[in-house]
Amino acid sequence: MRFRPKKLVKKLGKAGAKAAMSASPIPIPDSIKDTITGEVNKIGEVLETVKNIEEQLEVLIELLELATEKE
């Protein structure tokens, strides 16, 4: 029987790939999670502010329409 390093490397590569596929995903560090969560919270705050501004603009537009109708 002849020693065939190519075959051995191929078998080890397949075994390594199978082990990598079954391994759990790489955990995300808490500092990165906090950064992402903080950014999401900031985006939520900005969206809430934009919503409030839109509501105020709608009221102003209605008031302007009423004021221009009377003239």
Q: What angle do CA 55, 68, 66 make, to 5 degrees?
A: 45
pLDDT tens profile 16-60: 655 655 565 777 677 777 777 777 778 888 889 999 999 999 999
* Per-residue model confidence (pLDDT) at position 30: 78
Structure tokens at 14: 């397949």
DSSP, residue by residue, 5-68: HHHHHHHHHHHHHHHHHHSPPPPPPHHHHHHHHHHHHHHHHHHHHHHHHHHHHHHHHHHHHHHH
Half-sphere exposure of 33 (CA within 13 A, CB side): 4
* Per-residue model confidence (pLDDT) at position 5: 62
* Per-residue model confidence (pLDDT) at position 34: 75
What residue ranges do the domains of the chain occupy?
29-71
Total-model pTM: 0.47
